[in-house]
Amino acid sequence: MTTFSHISVNDVANFQGDVTIVDIRDPQSFANGHMPNAAQLNNDNFAAFIDQTPKDIPVVVVCYHGVSSQQAAQVIAQQGFETVYSMDGGFEAWRLANPVVRHSDLIKVHNVHLYFLQLLQYFSIKRLYTAPLVYVISHSYSSASG
């Protein structure tokens, strides 16, 4: 394929099968919120993306409002990818009705996990019985991250 196609937010949300989602917004915007399973794509990692991404898996390019993603999608399509889309409306349209991953949410889950590990270490040092605590930690962490 040497050109890209447009795809709606709804079609991306309901996409069946494997898809690679790349977000070309700036790093701060990406950290503040991005689509689940999206990878940030920029000039620093573009060559690695081209080399390491299977050409037969569809690629969806996301920007702020669906404008600059069109040019990026065209460049990616010209690198030999079979199916490349530019998502209409961009991330701003996505976030209105779909889940968003925020870097701060990931940090909160990580910090809770670290707190539980510190508790476990404290109880282990004191040689207290820790089996109930291990159970709580493992179930709390899997619920918070999942």
Chain length of the chain:
146
Backbone phi, then psi, for 61, in 5-degree steps?
Answer: -100, 130
SS in 3 state form for the chain?
A: CCCCEEECHHHHHCCCCCCEEEECCCHHHHHHCECCCEEECCCCCHHHHHHHCCCCCCEEEECCCCCHHHHHHHHHHCCCCCCEEEECCHHHHHCCCCCCECHHHHHHHHHHHHHHHHHHHHHHHCCCCCHHHHHHHHHHHHHHHC
Backbone phi, then psi, for 6, in 5-degree steps?
Answer: -90, 150
Catalytic pick among 7, 63, 73, 84: 63
The answer to whether residue 47 is catalytic is: no
- Show which residues are catalytic: 63
